[in-house]
Structure 1
Amino acid sequence: MKSYRLEPGRGLAGLTVHDQDEPEPGRGQVVVKIRANSIGSRDLLVLADNYVLPIRPKVVPGCEGAGEVVAVGEDVSRVKTGDRVAATVFPRWLDGPFRRENAAQLGTMIDGVLTEYAVLDEGGVVPVPEHLSFEEAAALPLAAVTAWNALTTGSALHPGATVLTLGSGAVSLFVLRFAKLAGARVLVTTSNAAKAERLRALGADEVINYRENPGWAEEVRALTDGLGVDRVVDATGPLEQSLKSVAPGGEVAFAGYWLSGTEGTTPIDPATLFMAGATLRRVATGSRAHFLELNRAVETHRLRPVIDQVFPFEQVPDAFKYCESGGGFGKVIISHT
């Protein structure tokens, strides 16, 4: 079998392919033949060793993968050989709040899924919805679970609520789809007219061009009769604008401070935080329980993720270069078939 390995901090130069024997499962483990992966901004940060979590040298990168169980170890009861499964990003985070002891993440602290065969704990995989291909299923573990957690944890999201999601990246696309299912009015920020049209086609009620409107919080207020939105899902920053966009008593789900560049590290004026009168909640992807809830919604509504480009497993470096170029819309997928 072949696996990619990573020397953090060297970028693509640190990404190499290694040959090794196919693995055997231990007690409570399963071997998954990976059929598809997904990569994105998070993976670029890992390559650069600029990620929020520590990265082990020579780790197998990649936290998003789907495939077929080909072997099970002793005492495995949740899955069986032949099951189609997706990996959870935090395999030890089964339910409840995020805790430090559950922080081991695929592709950083422990081996990930950019490999032909992966050994995973049985609790670290979830079933793949029947109507999804492996390529579509691989788009869910990071961005979709983050979006689901941002919308469903904390205060309830009622029909008629207003939701603002920042940017047209993968998290925001899932937020848009899920929030519309909940009956919300959804506002989205983006960088150009072409992406704005695609966002409207997916159901966005209002689209704000943040390049033309750097102080876009004022436009959010204008579009909500001065009230602000009930929830902001902030995966890009700047956080200050999110706090100025939220209604008193609302919530900002902060999902990506390390993606915000210099804006993400700018100190927030305490007066801005106080005047927002809202809850600021950190979102660190989600648990296995979040993923299972998400899957039920995806199955019920026959949802399919937005896929941008598909690359073969042998061309993973090209896929990373495409991600670096920016301008995509939807998930970048690695196919093993």
Structure 2
Amino acid sequence: MAGLFSSGTSSASASNTLGDLKNDVALANGPEDGISDIAFNPNPADTKDLLAVASWDKKVRIYEIMSNGQGEGRVAYDHDGPVFSVDFFKDGTKVISGGADKQGKVVDLATSQTMQFAQHDQPVRAVRYFENSGTPMAVTGSWDKTIKYWDFRQQTPVGTVTCQERVYTMDVRNDLLVIGTAERYINVINLKDPTKFYKTITSPLKWQTRVVSCFTDSMGFAIGSIEGRCAIQYVEDKDASLNFSFKCHRDPPQGNVTNVYAVNDISFHPVHGTFSTAGSDGTFHFWDKDAKHRLKGYPNVGGSIAATTFNKTGSIFAYAISYDWAKGYQGNTAGYPNKVMLHPVQPDECKPRPSVKKR
């Protein structure tokens, strides 16, 4: 079922599906080096929008997004190496991060106090917050091929699971934890039984996994690969008929050649359950997985999009323009842009398409 969403549209519908970047605002005083991850505070009771930004310059910066769309720096803290991943506590009071220094750190936004909470034998590629019976917890995934669970009140992990290969990407939603590793393994864990794999599959995409992202209802997850494809995968076998993959982030064919680009990030809209893909080609798109339809595609933003996230209401879509290493060391030129952009989401951009039932 590949190609159902094809990113090309017929001329009749192209005007409806082309999105607009004219109101997008750049975050001031952003990182001085590549941006690896971004996250908004998820607490619906918090009136502020706080955005955490992880960077190769060894810092995590937390900004408050003002009503005019501008961001003001609130807190910044350091790692001893490039920072690869960042996430908020559910209540929005603390931020966790992990990076090349093999550590996980947590900062209290009220006091700016930072504490190391995790340690691995190799760089920490991904960190995610979750709760176990109301207790704040973190899971860290590393290139040392393990994931570890942490209770912030203890200095040693409360659980360790060994994966088949290095952890490249990880996401949590409710009790669903999905881990993507090297060699295309995808591990699914039910956090009620956190030290066992509930299921292991080989990615349905033929090339290296770049990102996994859980559905808002935790019934499944999306996978993005380096070869311009996205897969929609349900957890339970009974829903397997709903699984499919589609092509995206690729140029129109020129003769026998099609340029394809990595899908660097996938973010689900917190209200509508629709999702975004963003890639090395410098574009992002909004999709409706249930209608198998592309809602909007956007013009090139002037550089690879390395990371994306929606705020808690889905009214802001943040995307980081930054070098993603897709072309190796030589592609990292001095003038390459590094900035976080804030896209105000219009009411029709991410709404699911009404489903048309065939009689």
Bigger proportion of residues as helix: 1
TM-score under structure 2 length normalisation? 0.27
**Structure having greater relative contact order (Cα 8 Å, sep ≥ 6):** 1
TM-score under structure 1 length normalisation? 0.28
